[in-house]
């Protein structure tokens, strides 16, 4: 069951991974793994390892990231890093916080934040190293992939671990029928989140800023229990992540990774604020600067990391665009050269023959294999110049051809624009009024 749950969450997170790196800014499995180790102990690690291995293997195979033996080795190495991350995080939380993740004091929130931040480095550094050594990512992507990996794992443990642990400890208590004030809060949260991410300014009168959701979190933290905070955060995330991934909401920038990182920054700060507000502040002296300083450090680190990743993603997007533009330019140049060589071959045919007959021309064109050798060329034709006195006989001969290509059916008057003076062969034809004829 634990393996299946980890695998399912991993496949969802890998839908928005950076290229073929399997590094995602949305990584709920890290939180599930931490909750499993805290709840079940060290004996659960094989299930985490198996789920991570299967998910990485499946996505690598789907993306054709490399040879089967290579991606198998990389998948095992990355799964080992994911498992070690959960074990390190669980040890730090057990040592400095508590195994129930009650987060009842501001100090426990800050220690929990630093513990999972340190543990997330384990998987991020290990995974990026595996990807670089295997050649799946280039050296230039090491920084952005590591930062994206760290953000996804950190946010997963910050948000999902308390939720998963609360469900394991007493899902009936968490999902019991809420009282009217709680139901009102959850309904307002769903409506406001939907308005922020799906609302149209022309309907609402103005675009709703995402920060209108913070008072709802404060209401849940100060007036209700931690369980209500968990439900409020779950509703916000369940609406915000799919909306942003599909190009909706205030965080959409046109680049998926850029948009998700902005969303993760907002969710991370909102979650930290909610956990701090939901604690019992009586454990600290009055006017203590410790909560504000710790919260400022966490927010600063999150903003710096997100800005770093954002700049790297923008630079990588520009480089990919430049490479694509150069490739398109080279393709167009090569195609124009191919068309020019085709026209030169046609010119050589006419130079080597006194008169090119239609059947001879069709055989020549068939031998050039236009669809495969000259993509984009829909056809190849030529214009025949007839002496004005031979026009009627020439038109009759063309009509008798097995594949007539006259532009108009019989009965319609078509001006024949190209005539040839027998005395001026080889020169560019000049129209002469009395030599223009009409063909029916």
Nearest Cα to 161, choosing from 26, 36, 13?
A: 36
List the beta bridge partners of residue 438: 415
Euclidean distance between CA atoms 234 and 112, whole angstroms:
19
Residue 54, C-beta contacts closer than 8 angstroms, at least 6 positions apart: 3, 7
CB 272 within 8 A of CB 159: no
Nearest Cα to 422, choosing from 390, 395, 394, 387?
A: 387
Phi/psi of residue 23, each to 5°? -100, 125
Nearest Cα to 109, choosing from 304, 306, 292, 287?
A: 292
The three-state (H, E, C) secondary structure of the chain, written as one string: CHHHHHHHHHHHHHCCECCCCCCECCCCHHHHHHHHHHHHCHHHHHHHHHHHHHHHHHHHHHHCCCCHHHHHHHHHHHHHHHHHHHHHHHHHHHHHCCCCCCCCCHHHHHHHHHHHHHHHHHHHHHHHHHHHHHCCCCHHHHHHHHHHHHHHHHHHHHHHHHHHHHHHHHHHHHCCCCCHHHHHHHHHHHHHHHHHHHCCHHHHCCCCCHHHHHHHHHHHHHHCCHHHHHHHHHHHHHHHHHHHHCCCCCCCCCCHHHHHHHHHHHHHHHHHHHHHHCCCHHHCCCCCCHHHHHHHHHHHHHHHHHHHHHHHHHHHHHHHHHHHHHHHHHHHHHHHHHHHHHHHHHHHHHHHCCCCCHHHHHHHHHHHCHHHHCCCCCCCCCCCCECHHHHHHHHHHHHCCCCCCCCCCCCCCEECCCECCHHHCCCCCCCCHHHCCEEC
Quick one: pLDDT at residue 31? 92
User: Domain map of the chain by residue range?
Assistant: 1-175, 177-284, 383-440
Handedness of CA 314, 315, 320, 324 (dihedral sign): positive
pTM of the complete model = 0.66
pLDDT per residue, tens digit, the chain (440 aa), is 889 999 999 888 888 877 777 788 888 999 999 999 998 888 999 999 999 999 988 888 877 767 888 888 988 999 999 999 999 999 999 988 888 888 888 888 888 998 999 999 999 999 999 888 888 888 878 888 888 899 899 999 999 998 888 888 766 665 565 678 888 999 999 999 999 998 887 777 677 888 888 889 888 888 887 888 888 999 999 999 999 988 888 888 777 877 888 888 888 888 888 888 888 755 545 555 655 565 566 566 656 655 665 666 666 677 778 888 888 888 888 888 888 888 888 888 888 877 777 778 888 888 888 888 887 777 787 776 667 777 777 777 777 765 555 454 444 444 443 433 333 334 444 444 333 343 33
The CA-CA-CA angle for residues 45, 132, 254, to 5°, reads 95
Euclidean distance between CA atoms 55 and 44, whole angstroms:
17
Quick one: pLDDT at residue 416? 42
Quick one: pLDDT at residue 51? 92
CB 35 within 8 A of CB 128: no
Quick one: pLDDT at residue 46? 92
Assign domain 1-175 to its CATH architecture.
Orthogonal Bundle (1.10)
- Burial of residue 36 (number of CB atoms within 10 Å: 0-12, 13-18, 19+): buried
Quick one: pLDDT at residue 288? 56
């Amino acid at each position: 069951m634990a393996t299946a749950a980890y695998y399912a969450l991993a496949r969802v997170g890998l839908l928005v991974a950076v290229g073929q790196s399997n590094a995602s800014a949305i990584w709920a499995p890290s939180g599930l793994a931490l909750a499993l180790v805290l709840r079940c102990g060290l004996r659960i690690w094989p299930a985490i390892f198996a789920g991570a291995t299967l998910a990485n293997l499946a996505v690598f195979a789907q993306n054709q990231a490399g040879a089967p033996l290579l991606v198998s080795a990389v998948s095992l190495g990355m799964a080992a890093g994911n498992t070690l991350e959960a074990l390190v995080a669980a040890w730090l939380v057990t040592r400095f916080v508590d195994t129930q993740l009650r987060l009842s004091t501001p100090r426990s929130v800050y220690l929990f934040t630093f513990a999972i931040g340190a543990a997330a480095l384990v998987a991020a550094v290990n995974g990026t190293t595996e990807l670089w050594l295997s050649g799946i990512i280039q050296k230039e992507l090491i920084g952005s992939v590591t930062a994206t990996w760290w953000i996804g794992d950190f946010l997963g443990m910050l948000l999902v671990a308390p939720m998963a642990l609360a469900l394991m400890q007493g899902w009936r208590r968490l999902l019991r029928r809420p009282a009217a004030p709680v139901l009102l809060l959850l309904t307002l949260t769903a409506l406001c989140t939907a308005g922020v991410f799906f609302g149209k300014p022309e309907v609402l009168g103005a675009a709703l800023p995402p920060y209108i959701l913070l008072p709802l979190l404060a209401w849940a933290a100060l007036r209700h229990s931690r369980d209500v905070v968990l439900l409020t955060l779950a509703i916000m995330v369940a609406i915000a992540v799919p909306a942003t991934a599909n190009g909706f909401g205030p965080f959409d920038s046109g680049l998926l990774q850029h948009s998700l990182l902005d969303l993760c920054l907002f969710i991370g700060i909102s979650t930290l604020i909610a956990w701090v507000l939901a604690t019992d502040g009586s454990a600290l002296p009055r006017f203590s600067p410790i909560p504000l300083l710790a919260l400022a450090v966490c927010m600063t680190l999150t903003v710096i990391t997100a800005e770093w990743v954002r700049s790297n993603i923008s630079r990588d997007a520009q480089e990919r665009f430049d490479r694509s533009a150069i490739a398109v330019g080279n393709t167009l140049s090569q195609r124009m050269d191919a068309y020019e060589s085709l026209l030169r071959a046609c010119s050589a045919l006419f130079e080597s023959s006194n008169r090119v007959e239609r059947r001879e021309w069709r055989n020549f064109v068939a031998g050039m294999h236009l669809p495969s050798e000259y993509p984009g060329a829909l056809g190849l034709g030529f214009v025949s110049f007839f002496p004005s006195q031979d026009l009627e006989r020439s038109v009759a001969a063309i009509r008798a051809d097995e594949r007539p290509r006259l532009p108009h059916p019989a009965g319609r008057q078509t001006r024949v624009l190209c005539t040839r003076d027998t005395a001026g062969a080889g020169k560019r034809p000049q129209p002469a009024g009395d030599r223009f004829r009409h063909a029916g």
